[in-house]
């Protein structure tokens, strides 16, 4: 038996347990996967841990912790701690469940995030909880799995507005987190990146606090996107090459300030933008002319630094440290 009443009350989730939409032995809540659920269409079994939606038969499963994570908008790990793993069928792992539901995500979340630091549903993925995210990272050529997330203070979510996104923190020079940007791992999600508070607010920040906190001369490379910076920094740090992302290419004065302070701590500065953003790279070079930055060109057939292979990144880093 699952004490859904007690659990739902604790998380302040509105539920019903009588009326035409309920069946015996169940409690009903608003379906977190239906775009608009003004009724209470998701039934949670008190006995088996199963859950299913009256409006959309795809919104069903047998892992009660997965349902709780979405209904209460908390991480899967926290949900397991709250409820235990009840009703998990051997047929579907959390990774498979996440994959199945990532394609069903249609709900517009109206939740307002007041904090600029991580929300409670954002967590560090492990092989048990969030293996899909680790696979995605490795498909993009970034090895290290869950250690990378811990190392760069990145998060993921499977519920809430940022569900099925890899979340990169945005920092000011004083190491204050002022939001994040999330890259979707779902194929059919049109918005590749979603940011909090919004794209403009991130214009005064950079990704990669590792770089900010471990400055010791060497080479700094400015990239556009967080994946580019992550790929380069992860390999480059062994060679004395560090990388930060500027979150897009439209830099405001506040961000230039952050970049100038950072650049001041390094011996040499490079700009490595996507092939299609050479104009922005030139403008940035002009703004940072006091540090004589050089613009790096990508090899032919490579459009953005994130596409560089591990070997190509090593080669690039070796060249950068000897360049004068
Ligand atoms: Zn539903």
- The tens digit of pLDDT for each residue in 246-280 reads 887 667 777 788 888 888 889 999 999 998 888 88
What is 107-125 written as a DSSP string?
----PPP--SS--TT-B--
Do 175 and 139 share a structural domain? Answer: yes
| Overall average pLDDT of the 47-67 stretch | 88
Do 237 and 185 share a structural domain? Answer: no
Q: Is the pLDDT of residue 13 over 70?
A: yes
- 277 Cα to the center of ligand 1, angstroms: 42
Residue 109 maps to a domain: no
Do 175 and 130 share a structural domain? Answer: yes
Helix (H) or strand (E) holding 320: helix 310-322
Do 220 and 189 share a structural domain? Answer: no
Question: What confidence score (pLDDT) does residue 271 get?
Answer: 95
- 238 Cα to the center of ligand 1, angstroms: 48
Do 278 and 308 share a structural domain? Answer: yes
- 39 Cα to the center of ligand 1, angstroms: 10
- Give the domain CATH number at 247: 3.40.1360.10
Beta bridge partners of residue 223, listed in sequence order: 245, 272
Residue 49 maps to a domain: yes
Residue 113 maps to a domain: no
- The tens digit of pLDDT for each residue in 122-175 reads 999 988 788 889 988 998 889 888 999 999 999 999 888 888 899 999 888 777
Residue 108 maps to a domain: no
Question: What confidence score (pLDDT) does residue 232 get?
Answer: 93
Q: pLDDT above 70 covers what percent of the chain?
A: 89
- 270 Cα to the center of ligand 1, angstroms: 49
Residue 261 maps to a domain: yes
- Give the domain CATH number at 16: 3.90.580
- 31 Cα to the center of ligand 1, angstroms: 5
Read off the pTM. Answer: 0.74
Q: Is the pLDDT of residue 107 over 60?
A: no
Query: How many CA atoms lie less than 13 Å away from 100 in the CB half-sphere?
Result: 14
Do 77 and 174 share a structural domain? Answer: no
The number of angstroms, rounded, from the C-alpha of 7 to the middle of its chain's C-alpha atoms is 28
- The tens digit of pLDDT for each residue in 178-222 reads 899 999 887 767 788 888 887 666 777 888 766 666 666 789 999
Do 236 and 166 share a structural domain? Answer: no
Do 95 and 80 share a structural domain? Answer: yes
- 56 Cα to the center of ligand 1, angstroms: 5
Question: What confidence score (pLDDT) does residue 210 get?
Answer: 63
Residue 272 maps to a domain: yes
Residue finishing a domain among 165, 185, 204: 204
Residue-averaged pLDDT of the chain: 84
- 60 Cα to the center of ligand 1, angstroms: 8
- 107 Cα to the center of ligand 1, angstroms: 9
Domain that residue 57 falls in: 4-101
Count CB atoms within 10 A of the CB of residue 237: 16
Question: What confidence score (pLDDT) does residue 149 get?
Answer: 94
- Give the domain CATH number at 175: 3.90.980.10
Q: Is the pLDDT of residue 314 over 90?
A: yes
- 245 Cα to the center of ligand 1, angstroms: 38
Q: Per the structure, how many domains does the chain have?
A: 3
From residue 212, give the alpha-carbon distance in Å to each of 74, 138, 158, 322: 30, 25, 29, 23
The edge-to-edge listing of strands for the beta sheet with 219-223 is: 241-245, 219-223, 268-272, 294-295
Q: Is the pLDDT of residue 110 over 80?
A: no
Residue 117 maps to a domain: no
- The tens digit of pLDDT for each residue in 215-230 reads 667 899 999 989 999 9
From residue 53, give the alpha-carbon distance in Å to each of 121, 123, 320: 22, 26, 56
Residue 116 maps to a domain: no
Do 136 and 94 share a structural domain? Answer: no
- 22 Cα to the center of ligand 1, angstroms: 14
Question: What confidence score (pLDDT) does residue 104 get?
Answer: 66
- 290 Cα to the center of ligand 1, angstroms: 57
Q: Is the pLDDT of residue 52 over 60?
A: yes
Residue finishing a domain among 177, 204, 231: 204
Question: What confidence score (pLDDT) does residue 28 get?
Answer: 93
- 11 Cα to the center of ligand 1, angstroms: 20
Do 199 and 235 share a structural domain? Answer: no
Is residue 232 within 8 Å of residue 243, measured between CB atoms? yes
Q: What pLDDT band is residue 324 in, cutting at 50, 70 and 90?
A: low
Do 313 and 214 share a structural domain? Answer: yes
- 128 Cα to the center of ligand 1, angstroms: 26
Residue finishing a domain among 172, 189, 204: 204
**Residue carrying the six token digits 């990239």:** 223
Do 92 and 24 share a structural domain? Answer: yes
- 186 Cα to the center of ligand 1, angstroms: 19
CA gap 72, 69 in Å, rounded: 6
- 40 Cα to the center of ligand 1, angstroms: 9
From residue 141, give the alpha-carbon distance in Å to each of 254, 291, 320: 32, 31, 21
């Amino acid at each position: 038996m699952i004490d859904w009443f007690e659990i739902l009350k604790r998380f302040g989730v509105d539920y019903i347990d009588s009326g035409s939409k309920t069946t015996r032995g169940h409690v009903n809540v608003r379906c977190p996967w239906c775009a608009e659920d003004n009724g209470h269409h998701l039934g949670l079994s008190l006995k088996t841990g199963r859950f299913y939606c009256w409006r959309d038969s795809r919104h069903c499963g047998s892992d009660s912790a997965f349902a709780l994570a979405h209904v209460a908008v908390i991480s899967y790990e926290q949900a397991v701690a709250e409820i235990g793993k009840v009703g998990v069928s051997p047929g579907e792992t959390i990774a498979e469940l996440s994959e199945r539901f990532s394609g069903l995500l249609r709900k517009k979340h109206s939740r307002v995030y007041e904090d600029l630091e991580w929300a409670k549903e954002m967590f560090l993925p492990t092989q048990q909880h969030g293996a899909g995210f680790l696979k995605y990272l490795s498909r993009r050529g970034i090895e290290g799995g869950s250690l990378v997330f811990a190392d760069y203070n990145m998060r993921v979510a499977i519920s809430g507005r940022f569900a099925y996104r890899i979340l990169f923190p945005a920092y000011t020079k004083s190491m204050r987190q002022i939001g994040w940007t999330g890259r979707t791992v779902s194929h059919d999600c049109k918005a590749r990146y979603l940011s909090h508070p919004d794209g403009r607010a991130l214009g005064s920040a950079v990704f990669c606090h590792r770089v900010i906190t471990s400055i010791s001369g060497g080479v700094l490379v400015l990239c556009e996107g967080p994946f580019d910076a992550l790929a380069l920094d992860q390999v480059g740090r062994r060679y004395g090459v560090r990388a930060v992302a500027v979150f897009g290419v439209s830099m405001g004065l506040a961000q230039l300030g952050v970049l100038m302070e950072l650049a001041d701590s390094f011996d040499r500065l490079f700009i490595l933008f996507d092939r299609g953003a050479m104009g922005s790279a030139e403008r940035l070079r002009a703004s940072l002319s006091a540090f004589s930055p050089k613009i790096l060109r990508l090899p032919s057939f490579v459009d953005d630094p994130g596409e560089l292979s591990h070997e190509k990144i090593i080669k690039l880093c070796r060249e950068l440290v000897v360049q004068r």
